[in-house]
């Protein structure tokens, strides 16, 4: 069933979307003419307005071979680069003037202009692929292909449940997390509340409180921030979901306390593997049982201290790089380090040592390189330090080149050097002078510390 079919099957003409400017009901979403003459094309869509994006999805799912969702927060050069990587012949976006037309890509700013295209269209696809960009662990975005079925596999789209629910979407609808919320909400007949992306957090929360938000998802960092907004606890939440970063006991507890009627769930998911699994027992990590018996039909296992996950729905190749995503048996290496303690499995960091500072990823080696380019430093070791606001923050131990140097001066000069050469979130918040570095039994420098 296409997105259009599923929306059509909703029992009445209810409001499915509320933005700052308007409410959009079922019939309005289905109101555009289906561009059957374009069957088989590959289209990139990039709209800041959620209602336009949703209408495009309704028009194109089942017609296009591929729909590539791009974020309107990205630069035009990146949009075109990704559209090219995705072999798209059309880019639909808000403002054609900011996006110079490329030789092989038609840039259009509205859906009705689609009618005027005569040249494209080959044959209807068996199933439209929904392609999303993931930032992955390096800065270069990768494209991952899904189907509507794989994106909604764990969605509970029973309209008896959805009726009356109000889902808040504070993520970008073109990214995996935001799209999950959008689909879960719309396909179950709930009302999606989409505050404007450029509003301050307090305004977004006022909007959600005003319109009775009952279901909300966010990263742990975002939830911690929301818990600092006085009005937040006035949201009549029945479901609070966390994902995208490691959820610790502390943030789970503060949410449970502020929303006594809410079920609190944290989700482990990766764009590459499709949806992972969820935990709703209020504790960080997940039950050891899941290793043999994951609840949602996804399989998970531990190997070399890392979590491996298997999901047969995702096309097993990144679209723009040659290497296989999974091994021969379909297992995907998540790159997440896990630790078994008693009946529980805990997430302890990334295998690459990448530090997640409130959503921004930092490679310790990059920071170490900058620190070591400073004369007073003989060696530097950069690691993650736990932080109650951002989950983790960058910390650095370093060894002085000259033991007789004035430590206070070196530290302050080193900080200035780091600030000049690194992004703000990469700069260590803590600098410690040490005589030597901590290593594990195998002699490897430890990348994660309390």
| Site for other proteins, rule CB under 8 A | 201-202, 221, 224-225, 227-230, 250-254, 256-257, 357-358, 360, 385-390, 393, 395, 419, 424-425, 429-430
- In the complex with other proteins, the residue whose CB is nearer, 203 or 375, is 203
Could you give the CA distance from residue 150 to residue 152 in angstroms, rounded to a whole number? 5
Which residues face 24 on adjacent strands?
Answer: 17
- In the complex with other proteins, the residue whose CB is nearer, 87 or 387, is 387
Cα maximum dimension of the chain: 78
Could you give the CA distance from residue 349 to residue 285 in angstroms, rounded to a whole number? 12
Which of 141, 145, 111 lies closest to 38 in space, CA to CA?
Answer: 111
Cβ neighbours for 408, distance < 8 A, ≥ 6 positions apart: none
CB of 247 to other proteins, least distance (A): 12
CB of 408 to other proteins, least distance (A): 13
CB of 395 to other proteins, least distance (A): 8
User: What is the DSSP pairing of strand 42-46 with strand 90-93?
Assistant: parallel
CB of 174 to other proteins, least distance (A): 23
Token code pair at residue 250: 């502390």
DSSP-assigned states of every residue in 183-247 = HHHHHTTPEEEE--TTS-HHHHHHHHHHTT--EEEE-HHHHHHHTTSGGGGGS--SEEEEESSPP
Give the DSSP H/E element, type plus range, for residue 365: helix 364-372
- In the complex with other proteins, the residue whose CB is nearer, 123 or 424, is 424
CB environment 246-258: b (16+ within 10 A), e (fewer) = bbbeebbebbeeb
CB of 404 to other proteins, least distance (A): 23
- In the complex with other proteins, the residue whose CB is nearer, 181 or 384, is 384
Q: How far is CA 156 from CA 36, 147, 161, 190, in A?
A: 30, 17, 8, 11
3-state helix, strand, coil in the chain (%, to 5): 30, 30, 40
Token code pair at residue 68: 């590539």
- In the complex with other proteins, the residue whose CB is nearer, 225 or 288, is 225
Angle between helix 50-60 and helix 176-187 axes, rounded to 10 deg: 70
Could you give the CA distance from residue 283 to residue 94 in angstroms, rounded to a whole number? 43
Which of 230, 217, 208, 207 lies closest to 184 in space, CA to CA?
Answer: 217
- In the complex with other proteins, the residue whose CB is nearer, 73 or 312, is 73
CB of 380 to other proteins, least distance (A): 17
CB of 419 to other proteins, least distance (A): 7
- In the complex with other proteins, the residue whose CB is nearer, 156 or 423, is 423
- In the complex with other proteins, the residue whose CB is nearer, 335 or 359, is 359
CB of 349 to other proteins, least distance (A): 17
- In the complex with other proteins, the residue whose CB is nearer, 224 or 363, is 224
End-to-end CA distance of the chain: 48
Answer for the pair 393, 377: CB distance below 8 angstroms, yes or no: no
- In the complex with other proteins, the residue whose CB is nearer, 131 or 392, is 392
- In the complex with other proteins, the residue whose CB is nearer, 325 or 429, is 429
CB of 163 to other proteins, least distance (A): 33
Could you give the CA distance from residue 151 to residue 93 in angstroms, rounded to a whole number? 23
CB of 169 to other proteins, least distance (A): 20
- In the complex with other proteins, the residue whose CB is nearer, 277 or 383, is 383
CB of 431 to other proteins, least distance (A): 9
**Three-state DSSP class for residue 68:** strand
Cβ atoms within 10 Å, residue 115 = 12
CB of 73 to other proteins, least distance (A): 17
Answer for the pair 133, 141: CB distance below 8 angstroms, yes or no: yes
């Amino acid at each position: 069933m296409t997105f259009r079919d599923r929306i059509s099957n909703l029992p009445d003409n209810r409001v499915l979307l509320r933005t700052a400017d308007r409410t959009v009901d079922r019939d309005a979403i289905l109101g555009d003419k289906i561009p059957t003459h374009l069957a088989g094309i590959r289209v990139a869509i990039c709209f800041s307005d959620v209602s336009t994006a949703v209408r495009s999805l309704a028009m194109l799912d089942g017609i296009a071979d591929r729909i590539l969702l791009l974020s309107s927060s990205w630069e035009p050069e990146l949009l075109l680069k990704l559209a090219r990587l995705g072999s798209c012949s059309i880019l639909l976006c808000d403002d054609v003037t900011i996006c110079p037309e490329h030789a092989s890509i038609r840039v259009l700013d509205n859906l009705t202009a689609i009618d005027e295209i005569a040249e494209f269209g080959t044959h209807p696809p068996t199933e439209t692929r929904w392609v999303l960009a993931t930032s992955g662990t390096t800065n270069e975005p990768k494209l991952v292909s899904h189907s509507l079925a794989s994106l909604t596999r764990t969605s509970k789209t029973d309209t008896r449940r959805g009726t009356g629910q109000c889902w808040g979407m504070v993520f970008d609808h073109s990214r995996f997390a935001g799209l999950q919320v959008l689909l879960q909400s719309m396909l179950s007949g709930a009302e999606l509340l989409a505050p404007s992306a450029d509003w301050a957090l307090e305004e977004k929360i006022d909007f959600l409180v005003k319109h009775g938000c009952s279901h909300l998802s966010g990263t742990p960092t975002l939830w911690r921030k929301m818990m600092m907004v006085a009005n937040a606890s006035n949201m009549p939440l029945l479901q609070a979901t966390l994902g995208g970063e490691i959820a610790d006991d502390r943030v789970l507890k503060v949410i449970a306390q502020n929303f006594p009627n809410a079920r609190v769930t944290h989700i482990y998911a990766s764009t590459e593997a499709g949806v992972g699994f969820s935990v709703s027992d209020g504790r960080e990590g997940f039950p050891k049982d899941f290793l043999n018996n994951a609840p949602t039909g996804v399989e998970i296992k531990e190997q070399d201290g890392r979590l491996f996950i298997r999901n047969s729905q995702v096309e097993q190749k990144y679209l723009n790089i040659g290497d296989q995503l999974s091994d021969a048996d379909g297992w995907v290496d998540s790159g997440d380090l896990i630790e078994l303690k008693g009946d529980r499995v805990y997430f302890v960091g990334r295998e690459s040592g990448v530090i997640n500072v409130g959503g921004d990823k930092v490679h310790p080696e990059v920071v170490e390189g900058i620190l070591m380019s400073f004369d007073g430093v003989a060696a530097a070791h950069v690691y993650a330090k736990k932080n109650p606001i951002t989950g983790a923050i960058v910390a650095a131990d370093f060894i002085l080149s000259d033991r007789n140097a004035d430590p206070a001066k070196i530290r302050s000069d080193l900080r200035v050097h780091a600030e000049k050469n690194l992004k703000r979130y990469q700069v260590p918040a803590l600098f410690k002078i040490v005589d030597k570095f901590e290593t594990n039994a195998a002699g490897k420098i430890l990348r994660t510390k309390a």
